[in-house]
């Protein structure tokens, strides 16, 4: 499948409205546009919405619509002629080549991935397929397109690969934070597949000169996050008075970044990052999982003063740990701060408050997610973990 599914009614590429970026006078083609992959997922959708709020430059959005892809995330740009949604696979060269040839993007930003560590433990195959093989095929299609571009389009073209801090492995309590030169040591099928994709991106730069950029970011949270990940899962469970399943003893540490800050970092890297470079992105917000859940419970206590589930932290339940669970992630984001002047702008407690508020205000979105497939996943992941109220770690 490779078909335009969402565009403004009867708007084709050649009918985009006139505007600063709309048409070149000679070819009836937007002077520039970007191709985003995975733009119906959590971070990709936030990126597309933020991009179109800040710029007139159109976005072509290629997404396979797996369980994690959701067109409802893009409702705010429904009917917007600057957004073209194409359902398709980054691993389908014919589809990607067709899009590149037809739309001639000035940049490709690759968000598309299988992204959940627990799912990668239950079934690593899809992770290898999309994250490794898919990225390889995407890189090859992009390389073919880029090689044939005339100057100066060729020189200004960028391929930005969105990756994760998990490729660096796990830190001890006193280890220095991950920097761009930390050796790769992925521990889960997810992080191994992302590490492989990062290595390919690096090789395509060094071997073929493809102007690549790689970002390695810490844990994101915010609107539209699929509720298999810690923060939205805990918000929805707490709202419904269900147990809050904390893995192990809850002392694993993650560095949390509000998704809007991740999007602004990607915009900066795209605009001014140096080809071939890696940029680490983090929130300066290291927290133990148990502390995250407790802060979230306190936020919900405040937001829902009449809830019968208050205080929500009595729902905390320690469950069997994730196999190979990385102990601690921390990001040294001094390179992006120094070179590009980027800093996170949303404090963790404020971001959490906004996120809780967003989930409370979007019950239709939540209902849409909590379909059969979602229930199957919850059953698969938590059935073997002995979910029963337990105030102490298992």
Residues with active-site annotation: 165-166, 190
- β-sheet bridge partners, residue 214: 161, 278
Alpha-carbon gap, residue 145 to 100, rounded angstroms: 7
Residue 104 binding partner per list ligand NAD, ligand DAU, none, with a CB distance cut-off of 5 to 8 Å that depends on partner kind: none
Q: Smallest distance, Å, CB 117 to ligand DAU?
A: 4
Q: What is the number of alpha carbons within 13 Å of residue 220 lying toward its C-beta?
A: 27
- Tokens standing for residue 384: 């073997």
Q: Which is nearer to ligand NAD, 134 or 211 (CB)?
A: 134
The pattern of x and - marking residues 184 through 223 that bind ligand DAU according to CB under 6 A reads ----------------------------------xx----
The reply on whether position 381 binds ligand NAD by CB under 6 A is: no
Sequence length of the chain is 394
Residue 43 binding partner per list ligand DAU, ligand NAD, none, with a CB distance cut-off of 5 to 8 Å that depends on partner kind: ligand NAD
Q: Which long-range contacts (CB under 8 A, 24 or more apart) does 270-273 make?
A: 270/34, 270/107, 270/109, 270/158, 270/160, 270/213, 272/339, 272/340, 273/158, 273/160, 273/213, 273/339, 273/340
User: If you ran DSSP here, which 8-state letter would residue 182 be given?
Assistant: S
| 81-110: contacts with ligand NAD (CB under 6 A) | 89-91
Q: Does residue 273 come out as left (phi exceeding 0), alpha (psi in the -120 to 50 range) or beta? A: beta
The reply on whether position 225 binds ligand DAU by CB under 6 A is: no
Q: Which stretch binds ligand DAU (CB under 6 A): 62-70, 93-101, 243-251, 386-394?
A: 243-251
The reply on whether position 217 binds ligand NAD by CB under 6 A is: yes
| 255-314: contacts with ligand DAU (CB under 6 A) | 289
The pattern of x and - marking residues 125 through 164 that bind ligand NAD according to CB under 6 A reads -----x---x---------------------------x-x
Q: With H, G, I as helix, E, B as strand and everything else as coil, classify residue 144.
A: helix
Among 33, 60, 63, 369, binds ligand NAD (CB under 6 A): 63
Element (H, E) at 45: helix 42-54
Residue 98's closest CA among 107, 89, 244?
A: 89
| 348-377: contacts with ligand NAD (CB under 6 A) | none
* Angle 361-362-368 from CA coordinates, rounded to 5°: 160
Alpha-carbon gap, residue 203 to 206, rounded angstroms: 5
Residue 85 binding partner per list ligand DAU, ligand NAD, none, with a CB distance cut-off of 5 to 8 Å that depends on partner kind: none
Residue 41 binding partner per list ligand DAU, ligand NAD, none, with a CB distance cut-off of 5 to 8 Å that depends on partner kind: ligand NAD
- Tokens standing for residue 118: 């627990």
Binding site for ligand DAU (CB under 6 A): 115-117, 164-166, 218-219, 229-230, 233, 245-247, 252, 254, 289, 322, 329
Binding site for ligand NAD (CB under 6 A): 37-38, 40-44, 62-66, 68-69, 89-91, 111-113, 115, 130, 134, 162, 164, 194, 217, 219-220, 226
């Amino acid at each position: 499948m490779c078909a335009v599914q969402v565009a403004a009614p009867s708007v084709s590429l050649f009918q985009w409205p006139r505007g600063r970026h709309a048409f070149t006078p000679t070819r009836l083609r937007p002077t520039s546009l970007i191709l985003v992959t995975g733009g119906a997922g959590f971070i990709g959708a936030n990126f597309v919405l933020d991009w179109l709020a800040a710029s007139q430059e159109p976005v072509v959005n290629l997404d396979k619509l797996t369980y994690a892809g959701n067109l409802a995330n893009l409702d705010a740009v429904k009917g917007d002629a600057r957004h073209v949604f194409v359902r398709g696979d980054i691993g389908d060269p014919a589809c990607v080549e067709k899009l590149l040839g037809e739309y001639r993007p000035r940049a490709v930003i690759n968000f598309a991935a299988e992204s959940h560590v627990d799912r990668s433990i239950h079934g690593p195959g899809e992770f290898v397929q999309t994250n490794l093989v898919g990225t390889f095929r995407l890189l090859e299609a992009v390389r073919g397109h880029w090689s044939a571009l005339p100057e100066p389009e060729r020189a200004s073209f960028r391929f930005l690969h969105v990756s994760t801090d998990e490729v660096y492995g796990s830190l001890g309590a006193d280890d220095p934070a991950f920097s761009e030169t930390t050796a790769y040591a992925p521990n889960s099928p997810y992080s191994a597949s992302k590490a492989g994709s990062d290595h390919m991106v690096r090789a395509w730069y060094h071997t073929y000169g493809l102007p690549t950029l790689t970002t390695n970011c810490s844990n994101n949270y915010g609107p539209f996050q699929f509720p298999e990940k810690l923060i939205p899962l805990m918000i929805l469970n707490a709202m419904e008075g269900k147990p809050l399943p904390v893995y192990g003893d809850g002392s694993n540490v993650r560095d949390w970044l509000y998704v809007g800050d991740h999007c602004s970092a990607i915009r900066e890297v795209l605009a001014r990052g140096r080809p071939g470079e890696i940029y680490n992105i983090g929130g300066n917000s290291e927290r133990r999982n148990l502390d995250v859940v407790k802060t979230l419970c306190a936020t919900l206590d405040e937001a829902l003063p009449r809830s019968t589930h208050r205080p929500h932290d009595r729902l905390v339940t320690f469950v069997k740990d994730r196999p190979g669970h990385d102990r601690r992630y921390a990001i040294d984001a001094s390179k992006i701060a120094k070179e590009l002047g980027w800093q996170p702008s949303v404090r963790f407690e404020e971001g959490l408050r906004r996120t809780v508020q967003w989930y409370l205000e979007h019950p239709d979105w939540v209902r849409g997610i909590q379909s059969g497939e979602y229930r199957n996943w919850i059953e698969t992941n938590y059935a073997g973990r002995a979910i029963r109220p337990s105030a102490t770690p298992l």
